[in-house]
Amino acid sequence: MPRASRVCSRPGCTNLINGRGSLCPQHQSHAQRRPDHRPGAAVRGYDSEWRKIRAEVLARHGIPRSHWHLYAVDHRPRYNPAVEPDHRAYSLVPMLKSQHNKKTAAVDGGFGNRKRGDK
């Protein structure tokens, strides 16, 4: 059975969609993510040892294991493996991923933004 036509999910767009997806062809081309040219997580210092340290931090702060997927562990100051590759040398603080992403974008130069400084 064919799907019913619906409006493109891009705010302000009134184009109709007949197939799969939530964007019209005009907006689909703009929705492509930029390629991530960074090295893999393990190369950047987030390997199996980091996963053990992360688990220790979350457990030490009393966060139930069932909620670990909601949290990131923030390095203070910003993690720089060229200066200090040992994660334990930093102050490690659990943060909700949404808060950590905001901090990363605003302060740490993440998501293509300029770095503002250590906080």
Task: Determine the pLDDT at residue 55.
Answer: 97
Asked if 19 and 58 sit in the same domain, the reply is no
Which structural domain, as residue segments, surrounds residue 17? 1-31
Is residue 22 scored above 80 in pLDDT?
A: yes
Asked if residue 41 is part of any domain, the answer here is no
The count of domains in the chain is 2
Asked if residue 75 lies in contact with residue 83, where contact means CB atoms within 8 angstroms, the answer is no
Asked if 90 and 65 sit in the same domain, the reply is yes
- 104 or 96, which is more confident: 96
- Any residues with CB less than 8 A from the CB of 113 and at least 6 apart, and which? 105, 106
Threshold 0.85, pTM exceeds: no
Span between the terminal Cα atoms of the chain, in Å = 55
Asked if 22 and 53 sit in the same domain, the reply is no
Task: Determine the pLDDT at residue 10.
Answer: 86
Asked if residue 66 is part of any domain, the answer here is yes
Percent of the chain exceeding pLDDT 90 equals: 40
